[in-house]
């Protein structure tokens, strides 16, 4: 089954974004279409937003969706920045029923990592790679010899007695109204902890904060090389489409 064009959708804490992706070259074939994440962000409410994105593109083909939490065989196991009613929901079935399309859901950081490793800053790198998406939370994904380690969710390790993303995410920077320099110190603490646990050769910074990489990456002190994601905020959409392509090839 040759799938060249797939609708990629990225569910975030503040917005749900989608675009049609050319899975041969990792390029967006359309402008991103974004709808604010509904509040409360229940599964049914977000499913209706996804349906609106599908209708916007007049789409009836396969869909890949990045979800901010652990996904096991299409079932959500965590929901750190969404409503707790997500937990144990079969999202493949829910979104397929709502959109009338074939849907494959993956962890959003895994999706972003797949996009960066195939088409972005990690392309061709064979060592241990850690990608951190920095936005409402901290998404993490690791690759070794190009192979994905799924559902790491290490944005939730403890730092100073609290969930790390409440201390070192971009949302924390905004909530605490601190400078980029002060926040870089916090984020550096987080990366140093990741290095002690994983010993990556390369760290790629993605998510919304990657658009401001010049404000903090030069301030970081790490053993590994740190570079910004080249796909920026598009990585999650592209990677979700790539995951859908892979899944559909197996059918």
pTM of model > 0.85: yes
Range of the domain at 66: 5-108+234-250
Instruction: Determine the distance from the C-alpha atom of residue 138 to the mean position of all C-alpha atoms in its chain, rounded to a whole number.
Output: 9
Which DSSP letter does residue 38 get?
P
Q: Clarify whether residues 218 and 238 are in a common domain.
A: no
Q: Clarify whether residues 99 and 185 are in a common domain.
A: no
Are the C-beta atoms of 237 and 9 separated by less than 8 Å? yes
Which DSSP letter does residue 90 get?
B
Q: Clarify whether residues 154 and 218 are in a common domain.
A: yes
CATH number where 74 lies:
3.30.420.40
Q: Clarify whether residues 160 and 182 are in a common domain.
A: yes
The pLDDT assigned to 3 comes to 60
Distances (CA, A) of 183 to 48, 136, 163, 166: 36, 14, 16, 12
What is the pLDDT tens value at each position of the chain, 251 positions in all? 446 899 999 998 889 999 999 999 999 999 999 999 999 999 999 999 999 999 999 999 999 999 999 999 999 999 988 889 999 999 999 999 999 999 999 999 999 999 999 999 999 998 999 999 998 899 999 999 999 998 898 999 999 999 999 999 999 999 999 999 999 999 999 999 999 999 999 999 998 888 899 999 999 999 999 999 999 879 999 999 999 987 766 34
The pLDDT assigned to 1 comes to 40
Instruction: Determine the distance from the C-alpha atom of residue 46 to the mean position of all C-alpha atoms in its chain, rounded to a whole number.
Output: 16
Q: Clarify whether residues 94 and 58 are in a common domain.
A: yes
Q: Clarify whether residues 64 and 126 are in a common domain.
A: no
Phi then psi for residue 2, to 5 deg, are -95, 115
Kindly state the helix (H) or strand (E) to which residue 216 belongs, with its residue range: none
The pLDDT assigned to 37 comes to 94
Q: Clarify whether residues 217 and 246 are in a common domain.
A: no
Does residue 115 fall inside a structural domain? no
Q: How many other C-beta atoms can be found within 10 angstroms of the C-beta atom of residue 202? A: 17
Nearest to 227 by CA among 125, 111, 114, 106: 125
Q: Clarify whether residues 31 and 82 are in a common domain.
A: yes
Q: Clarify whether residues 217 and 242 are in a common domain.
A: no
Q: Clarify whether residues 225 and 239 are in a common domain.
A: no
For 114: left if phi > 0, alpha if psi spans -120 to 50, otherwise beta; the answer is alpha
Instruction: Return the structure tokens found at 19.
Output: 């675009």
Q: Clarify whether residues 89 and 183 are in a common domain.
A: no
Q: How many distinct structural domains can be found in the chain? A: 2
């Amino acid at each position: 089954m040759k799938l060249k064009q797939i609708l990629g959708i990225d569910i975030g804490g503040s917005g749900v974004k989608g675009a049609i992706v050319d899975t041969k070259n990792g390029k967006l074939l359309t402008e991103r279409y974004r709808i604010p994440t509904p509040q409360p962000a229940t599964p049914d409410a977000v499913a209706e937003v996804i349906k609106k994105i599908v209708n916007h593109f007049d789409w009836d083909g396969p869909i890949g969706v990045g979800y901010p939490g652990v996904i096991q065989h299409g079932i959500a196991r965590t929901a750190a920045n969404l409503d707790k009613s997500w937990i144990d929901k079969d999202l493949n079935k829910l979104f397929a029923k709502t959109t009338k399309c074939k849907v494959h859901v993956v962890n959003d950081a895994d999706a972003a990592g797949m996009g960066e490793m195939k088409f972005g800053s990690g392309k061709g790198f064979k060592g241990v790679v850690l990608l951190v998406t920095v936005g409402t939370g901290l998404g993490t994904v690791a690759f070794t010899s190009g192979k994905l380690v799924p559902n790491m969710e290490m944005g939730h390790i403890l730092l100073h007695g609290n969930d790390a993303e409440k201390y070192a995410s971009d949302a924390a920077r905004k909530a605490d109204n601190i400078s980029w320099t002060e926040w870089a110190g916090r984020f550096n603490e987080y990366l140093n902890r990741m290095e002690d646990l994983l010993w990556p050769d390369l760290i790629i910074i993605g998510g919304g904060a990657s658009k401001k990489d010049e404000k903090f990456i030069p301030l970081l002190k790490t053993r590994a090389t740190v570079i910004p994601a080249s796909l920026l905020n598009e990585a999650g959409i592209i990677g979700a489409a790539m995951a859908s392509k892979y899944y559909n090839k197996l059918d």
